[in-house]
Amino acid sequence: MSLAVAETPSFDTDRAEAFAARVGEILDTGAIAVMLSLGHRTGLLDLMAQLPPSTSERIAKEAALAERYVREWLAVMTTGRVVIYDPARRTYRLPPEHAASLTRAGTLGNLAVYAQYVALMGQVQERTLACFETGEGRRYEDFPDFHQMMAEDSAQTVVAPLCETLLPLAEGLPKRLGAGIAVLDAGCGRGQALLAMARRYPRSRFTGYDLGDDAIAHATAAARDTGLDNVRFAVRDLTHFDEVERYDLITSFDAVHDQRDPQDLLRRLCRALRPGGLYLMQDIGGSAHLEKNLDFPMASLLYAISCVHCTPVSIGQGGAGLGTMWGWETAEAMLAEAGFVEVTRHRLAHDPMNVWFVSRKGPSRDRAA
């Protein structure tokens, strides 16, 4: 690749050409990410993990999809080094080592779930352009299938390890849940975490609040289907949350940074806890300082999600738009300001993008918002 750029003493041509090659890689990788999302949504990746090396005709037939499109998708997967193509037999194969991080049954977590966010960014680009031009925000409803994607995301980082790994982060918590306590999940989305806890701890009572009526309808239907009578869900805008000393445990999973006023919400959550009550919070684990995030896992993806979704939905609620990468330092300072004490911070191997805080409500002081 050559560049038609006038040579100047300060212009490093090698560096420019290396960077142009890097841009090419970025474009290629972005395209592969969108196609991974399609592979996840169509079930092609899961199917290929089960099939022996197969022709595009067989793969399409097993998937009940149009062969011409499947073949084109397989070409992306082949040039992207996701699947292996045998030109002599015209067969494609997804190696088990690749299936481990790209399928629903994958042993390393299903990273194809996150590819859906990349596809979503393209889907809402016109609206994002309007945000740049006007400074306006967005509503959750502006993001098609967001709650479904989020539920798939948190099924991996929250629900699967919840009872064995996450609840024991707070000493004695599983025992208290077994004995029977009142629990709130703030910003519960489709409510999977709460449903899992309600199933495991029948003596405890569980409440889930979320702004999204579609998410709450989904959660309510799931509770009804499972026959659980110790869990309830309600549409609630937490901006005005005003319950006092009602819960022994409050949880929020990735549901604070995109609120209108995260600091105010944390104060309200603290107020809603009984004395000695616990707050378990998962949120994005990057630093508040951009320069410290250069090597943070999937930092560019997280900042991009912030630009397209988390920042505009906060602004859309009348907030400042703190952003996805508000930083663990900001979160920790806000927890203390809200009245939480004994704040401990945890990094967990299964969830490298997030940080987990366990906090206790401090001695009573008037922190009414």
Chain residues that interact with ligand SAM, rule: CB under 6 A: 140, 150-151, 154, 158, 187-189, 209-212, 215, 236-239, 253-255, 258-259, 317
> Of 61, 39, 112, 53, nearest to 85 (Cα)?
53
If phi > 0 it is left, if psi is from -120 to 50 it is alpha, else beta; for residue 88 that is alpha
Nearest approach in angstroms of CB 343 to ligand SAM is 20
Q: How far is the CB of 97 from ligand SAM (least distance, A)?
A: 29
Using alpha carbons, select from 281, 272, 259 the residue that is nearest to residue 158: 281
For ligand SAM, which is the closer residue by CB, 32 or 258? 258
Question: What is the nearest approach in angstroms of ligand SAM to the Cβ of residue 284?
Answer: 10
Q: Which is nearer to ligand SAM, 83 or 215 (CB)?
A: 215
Min. distance of Cβ 156 from ligand SAM in angstroms? Answer: 10
The whole-angstrom separation of Cα 328 and Cα 255 is: 14
Cβ proximity to ligand SAM: between 99 and 113 the closer is 113
Nearest-CB residue for ligand SAM: 189
Nearer to ligand SAM, 92 or 357 (CB): 357
Rounded CA gap, 269 and 338, in Å? 8
CB of 85 to ligand SAM, least distance (A): 37
Is the CB of residue 289 less than 8 Å from the CB of residue 364? Answer: no
Query: For residues 40 and 147, which CB has a smaller minimum distance to ligand SAM in the complex?
Result: 147
Answer whether 190's CB lies under 8 Å from 257's CB. no
Q: Report, in Å, the least distance between residue 165 CB and ligand SAM.
A: 16
The span from the first CA to the last CA of the chain, in angstroms, equals 60
Q: Please list the alpha-helical segments (H only) found in the chain.
A: 13-42, 44-50, 56-63, 67-79, 96-99, 112-123, 125-134, 146-154, 173-179, 192-200, 213-226, 262-272, 299-305, 311-316, 328-338
State in angstroms the smallest separation of the CB of 88 from ligand SAM. Answer: 46
Nearer to ligand SAM, 112 or 315 (CB): 315
C-beta closer to ligand SAM: residue 46 or 210: 210
Nearest to ligand SAM of 39, 319 (CB atom): 319
What is each CA distance from 119 to 114, 129, 284, 332, in whole angstroms?
9, 16, 21, 32
CB of 252 to ligand SAM, least distance (A): 7
